[in-house]
Structure 1
Amino acid sequence: MRGVPRAGLVGGVAAVIIVVDQLSKHWALRRLGDFSTIEVVGSLQLRLTWNTGTAFSLGDDLNLGPIIAVLALLVVGWLLWSGHSARRPGAVAAGLVAGGAVGNLIDRALRSGPNGQPVGFMGGAVVDFVDLQWWPVFNVADAGIVVGAFLLVVVSMFEPRTDAPGDDPPAGDDG
């Protein structure tokens, strides 16, 4: 079946990721804005950074971050339309990716640049603050995208094949 059989689940998961992401970024700006660091456990620390590039701060000077986020949303749209989100795990994965992409797009659209520098529309910096010290600094939206993408790969490996693209899942299968 073509369409959006689990759009509510995708939207619900995305909404949770967006809210938690934006609240955590607001907290990080208030608590870590003075460039302080909070040691949590092991190598995990909370430290405010600004990402003007793509994922993991790659390409800071290329301004590709907004393009990548829009591409992620297009992938989620395709997942919904193609039926890959018809089962619960696929819908959750799509919601994680969508919520993460929107969370970071909100930063790009509504935040200033690092240190309050004025920027044009979609030129804002993404707030990152989770620092493992052995991985690039990230945020809740980034975690949603990475976990969602990983889950999509796992789900696609175990998804039963159908005779034709877009066929309905077996009757009574809720995923």
Structure 2
Amino acid sequence: MSEDRSTDNAAVPATGDAADAPETIAVTETETPGRRRLTTLLIIAAVLFGLDLLTKCLAVAYIDPDDPVPIIGDFARLDLVRNPGAAFSMATGMTWLLTLIAAAVVVGVIRIGRTLRSLWWAIGLGMVLGGAMGNLVDRIFRSPGPLQGHVVDFVAIGWWPVFNVADSAIVCGAILLVALTIFGFEPDGTRSGRKHTEETA
């Protein structure tokens, strides 16, 4: 009798929560990489934002605008400049518009980051986000007033316009994202060339 009961129990299909377990696990595994990439993006952005804010505070406190600090002669120096324009002193007469663009970039990057599966895209977008936040804070809180604030720049190298950590982060992040796009690396972690090959095989 005990053998018959064990046989009957083995034949009964799983129902309820047990039957749904594989599907639940699959959903969890699908969502986890996206959350990890968003976390990576936000950590990179926070580190760069903090570094940008710290270096700007030090520059304002210790660099005289009329007395640049030489690092490598006249080639590399610390030169405090208040920049009303975009990165590398471009579009100096459109401060309010640049402020709105920076705010839109911050919102857009965060929304895109929620769907990411690619580590490299997370790094690139994190750099752009950190830089955009750094300069956005200057435009909101520094003089001459909200949405008109001048960005603190202090790094001068050769003939290149004076810049800061945020500018460097934005440019390097943008270059990385362009390179990823050119070589076919998608935000979802796939590669467009491989995807096309699999579809035609």
The answer to whether structure 1 residue 58 and structure 2 residue 83 are counterparts is: no
Q: Specify the alignment match of 1:95 in structure 2.
A: 126
C-alpha distance in 2 between matches for 1:57 and 1:34: 16
Of 105, 111, 118, which residue of structure 1 is paired with 2:142? 111
The answer to whether the 8 A contact 2:65-2:81 is kept is: no
Q: Specify the alignment match of 1:68 in structure 2.
A: 101
Which deviations, in whole Å up to 9, do the C-alpha atoms of 1:25-62 show, x marking residues without a partner? 00100111353211112611110001111222222222
| Matched-pair identity in % | 36
Q: Specify the alignment match of 1:172 in structure 2.
A: none
Structure 1 residue 91, shift from structure 2 partner = 0.5
Q: How many residues align?
A: 156
Structure 1 residue 73, shift from structure 2 partner = 2.0
Which deviations, in whole Å up to 9, do the C-alpha atoms of 1:42-95 show, x marking residues without a partner? 6111100011112222222222320231232244235325x4x42211101110
One-letter code of the match for 1:65? L
User: Which structure has the greater CA radius of gyration?
Assistant: 2
> Which SS does the other structure have where 2:170 is aligned?
helix
Of 64, 77, 83, which residue of structure 1 is paired with 2:110? 77
Q: Which structure is higher in RCO with an 8 Å CA cutoff and minimum separation 6?
A: 1
Structure 1 residue 156, shift from structure 2 partner = 2.0
C-alpha distance in 1 between matches for 2:64 and 2:112: 38
Q: TM-score scaled to structure 1, two decimals?
A: 0.79
Of 17, 31, 48, which residue of structure 1 is paired with 2:80? 48
1:4-43 to 2 correspondences below 5 Å: 4-5=34-35, 6-41=37-72, 43=75
Query: Which ranges in structure 2 are unaligned for 5 or more consecutive residues?
Result: 1-29, 186-190, 197-201
The answer to whether the 8 A contact 1:55-1:65 is kept is: no
The answer to whether the 8 A contact 1:52-1:65 is kept is: no
